[in-house]
Chain A
Amino acid sequence: MEFGLAALASQLVVGLSRAMILFIVCAGLSFVLGVLRVPNVAHGSLYMIGAFSAYGIAMRLFGGSSAGFWLALILAPFVVALVSLIAERALFCHLYEREHLMLLLFTFALMLIFGDLVKIIWGAEYRSVSPPALLRGSVSMFGASIPRYNLFLLIIGPLVAIGLWLFTNKTKIGKISRAAAVDREMVSVIGINVSWVFAAAFVIGCYLAGLGGALVAPTVSVTLGMDHTIIIEAFLIVTIGGLGNMWGALVGSLIFGVTHSFGVLLWPQFAIVFPYAAVVIVLFLRPRGLLKSVW
């Protein structure tokens, strides 16, 4: 098959916009992995809660108005952050002394519980969130039509990346959590309450999951089972990027998003194996991920 430059360019834009969502979710996962050293299996569930909360705020409280969408985009991640704060302070913080695999077991249990809680609260119906009037429809670029919402994601993604950079490099808590990722004994020795550093890191990671969920809501059907679809992909991305490295998550997401959208153009029959094949190739070439890992 032959494709013009237009098709390639439009696939690039679309792939990059998908990468932005993946980056936001995976940065959160990677942050928790780096600081707490816990593979948070419940991360996907928090992403799902973010999407459902966005639905609840935008469609139920504000009846699908544009203002409702923007408010949902701000509030839904905080709902997720609150949920994660409660789970962390009530249960998780008592387990930090335990073997890491037991923490994995704990997040697995959380995933089971969140999955059913979402069903109890929002029911099993498929939900859909309307984008605001400004972002509806598509624009013509390079002779292909690209949804406006995807262009919006291209703006949001870098903003989040800059925000994360400022947070980890310029704020005190960000610096402490980076230090805790490298050497937690040292951090506790100099008199910092590591438990609260962990809590902050966990909540920030989950906030990002919620933000990803809220951002993805207008482009997909918000349903039960969203958690399962995202979580494995998120772990693969975090791995190829380098465990615990947020910029690795960015690199991994870009690889995933862009190879996927070009792959779909060139070999649409094999879309199902792309993510796995990408990980296999990267790990063959660089067994510890692309960027420096904290593990």
Chain B
Amino acid sequence: MFRGIIDLKSLWPIAAIFIVLLILPPILPRFYTYILALIFVTSLLAMSLNLVLGHGMIFQFHHGVFYGVGAYTAALMLAKSSLPMWVGFVAGPLMAAVVGLIIGWFCVRLTRLYFGMLQISLGSLIWAIVFRWYSFTGGDDGIHGIPMPPLISSLNNAYYFILIILVICLVALYLILKSPFGSTLEAIRDNPQRCEAVGVNVRRHQLMAIVISTFFAGIAGVLFVVLERSVFPDLLFWVLSLEIFIMCLLGGWFTFAGPILGAAIMVALRTFIGIFTEYWTLILGVILILLIFFLPEGVMGYFLEGFKPHAKEVAERRGE
């Protein structure tokens, strides 16, 4: 069934990257291992958003809520219940998907910015619950020191765990996009009226995409808990959601792997500019503007244009 979906020739660079990432932790300083793991988690989060944003043109403005719900569910299960550890790991993404289903069900009736603003409002209600329910969620202080199974408690092991889950999720996302469902989603993005006319249930497809996307956001949330062992309401706040959105735009939101690059750039800039100057948001802003001016299709989009034979033609069309 994979014929035509995965090109064997294109597999070797992926495998090479994977192997390099596998052998890195023992030779890297611990801090860089940590940053790489953080980039993996953030990448998965951005990729999950891009499933609906880039491929579905759904303005998922408050994606952070599902990340936070996944993280909080896993954290609460691990810290407060005596259930086996893996139950928490599975419950996180499921809970995120359930919340995604509920919020999505209300939101899909709306389009574009209205969709986004309704989602921000509904998401912020969840944020307010987490922020205020001191006895259960720890309020604005959050929950820290969440116990982890010994197998993934060391930094290197957590890194491997996150990397493997990330690879599995990326393959799953790729297959979803190449499936008939993914094609329908992109068709809806490009022309919802026509899709409606040929009998596609647009709302149901969009809702389905939101549920899948929030499920992966929940996985990212669980991985965040594995890495940081802390949860706090910032994970559900709209500022973080805006940042994820920016990562997708920056990396190139209509490419498959663009958000990974966007996430890597944002995390790296935030960490390494912060070392040199207090005014790192200023520098981040300037870099973003430079990227917007010189790489109009996002970073990944730029590279793709450079590779493509008909790049000029596209550029000419844009100029019209």
Contacts and interface: CB of A to CB of B under 8 A. Distances in A.
Interface of A: 39, 41, 91, 94-95, 97-98, 101-102, 104-106, 108-113, 115-117, 119-120, 228, 232, 235-236, 239, 243, 272-273, 275-277, 279-280, 283-284, 287-289, 295
Interface of B: 106, 109-110, 112-114, 117-118, 120-122, 124-125, 128, 131-132, 238-239, 242, 245-246, 249-250, 253, 279, 281-282, 284-286, 288-289, 292-293, 296, 318
20 contacts: A39-B113, A41-B242, A104-B249, A105-B288, A109-B288, A111-B285, A115-B282, A116-B282, A117-B282, A235-B120, A236-B117, A272-B128, A272-B131, A276-B120, A276-B125, A280-B106, A283-B114, A283-B121, A284-B106, A287-B114
Contacts of A117: 282
A279 B121 contact: yes
B292 A106 contact: yes
Contacts of B242: 41, 108
Contact of A276 (B121, B245, B281, B282): B121
Given A98-B296, A228-B239, A295 B113 contact: yes
Given A239-B117, A272-B128, A295-B112, A109 B249 contact: no
Contact of B292 (A109, A115, A284, A289): A109
B112 to A, nearest CB: 7
A94 B296 CA distance: 12
A113 B282 contact: yes
Given A105-B249, A108-B288, A283 B318 contact: no
A94 B106 CA distance: 38
A249 B246 CA distance: 26
Given A232-B238, A276-B128, A280-B125, A112 B117 contact: no
A109 B250 CA distance: 11
B114 A289 contact: yes
Contacts of A232: 120, 238
Contacts of A243: 113-114
A280 B106 CA distance: 9
Contacts of A279: 117-118, 121
A231 B231 CA distance: 26
A228 B239 CA distance: 9
B285 A110 contact: yes
Contacts, number: 108
Nearest to A95: B292
Given A95-B292, A279-B121, A112 B110 contact: no
B284 A112 contact: yes
A106 B289 contact: yes
Contacts of A106: 288-289, 292
Contact of B281 (A94, A104, A116, A284): A116
Nearest to B239: A228
A235 B120 CA distance: 10
Nearest to A108: B246
Nearest to A111: B285
A102 B296 contact: yes
B118 to A, nearest CB: 5
A280 B128 CA distance: 14
By Cβ-Cβ distance, the 8 closest A-B pairs, closest first, are A112-B285, A116-B282, A113-B285, A109-B288, A239-B117, A279-B121, A276-B121, A109-B285
Nearest to B292: A106
Nearest to B132: A272
Nearest to A281: B121
Nearest to B107: A283
Nearest to B248: A101
Contacts of A104: 245, 249
A195 B110 CA distance: 31
Nearest to A243: B113
Contacts of A95: 292-293
B286 A113 contact: yes
Contacts of A105: 246, 249-250, 288, 292
Contacts of A111: 285
Contact of B128 (A98, A113, A273): A273
A239 B281 contact: no
Contacts of A110: 285, 289
B318 A97 contact: yes
Contacts of B117: 235-236, 239, 279, 283
B46 to A, nearest CB: 14
Contact of A112 (B113, B238, B249, B282): B282
Nearest to A101: B249
Nearest to B298: A102
A101 B144 CA distance: 36
Nearest to B281: A112
A115 B117 CA distance: 23
Nearest to A39: B113
Contacts of A280: 106, 118, 121-122, 125
A280 B117 CA distance: 9
Contacts of A284: 106
Contact of A101 (B118, B238, B239, B253): B253
A87 B62 CA distance: 28
Nearest to A116: B282
Contacts of B110: 283, 287-288
Nearest to A91: B289
A117 B279 CA distance: 9
Nearest to A284: B106
A119 B112 CA distance: 34
Contacts of B131: 272
